Amino acid sequence: MGIIWEVNLSDFLLVTMFLGGGAAYLTGRAVAVTWRPFPKLVLYIALLTAAVRFIHYALFTGTLLSLQFFVVDFIILLAFGSAGYRVTRAGQMTTQYAWLYQRSGPFSWRSRGPAKSAPGAAG
């Protein structure tokens, strides 16, 4: 029993990192695609963490109600979910508002600078 994994490392990698992390990344993408705010993602990741804890309990004889391992799984899944959310949101902002923003990395975007008025436009 370790600080991060409960039963053994392979169970942790399979359930939390591979299955749970993939589901969390896709959940983050889904929240971003539907233009929902980030706190919704936190709620969905908490529900996903409960499901991951149940899989550890049902398949690998882990403890179901362990605060320590729930928090560890929640932090890891939130990291995966946040990555999916930010990558998708950066793509959305630079695609939908291409005249305002340009991509500055996989997780971020920046302003293109002051907007120039069209020739002959009032103002």
| Residue 58 forms part of a structural domain | yes
Which position has the token pair 């899944």? Answer: 77
| Residue 115 forms part of a structural domain | no
| Residue 1 forms part of a structural domain | no
| Residue 122 forms part of a structural domain | no
| Tally of structural domains, the chain | 1
Which position has the token pair 């729930």? Answer: 70
Specify the pTM: 0.85
| Residue 81 forms part of a structural domain | yes
Residue among 23, 27, 29, 17 at smallest CA distance from 87: 29
Question: Tens-digit pLDDT profile for the chain (123 aa)?
Answer: 677 777 788 898 899 999 999 999 999 999 999 999 999 999 999 999 999 999 999 998 888 888 999 999 999 999 999 999 999 999 999 888 888 888 888 898 888 877 555 454 454
| Residue 123 forms part of a structural domain | no
Task: Quote the domain boundaries for residue 66.
Answer: 9-110
Residue 91 φ then ψ, to 5°: -65, -40
Residue among 51, 48, 13, 55 at smallest CA distance from 27: 48
| Residue 93 forms part of a structural domain | yes
**Cβ contacts of 49 within 8 Å, gap of 6 or more:** 20, 70, 73, 74, 77
| Residue 121 forms part of a structural domain | no
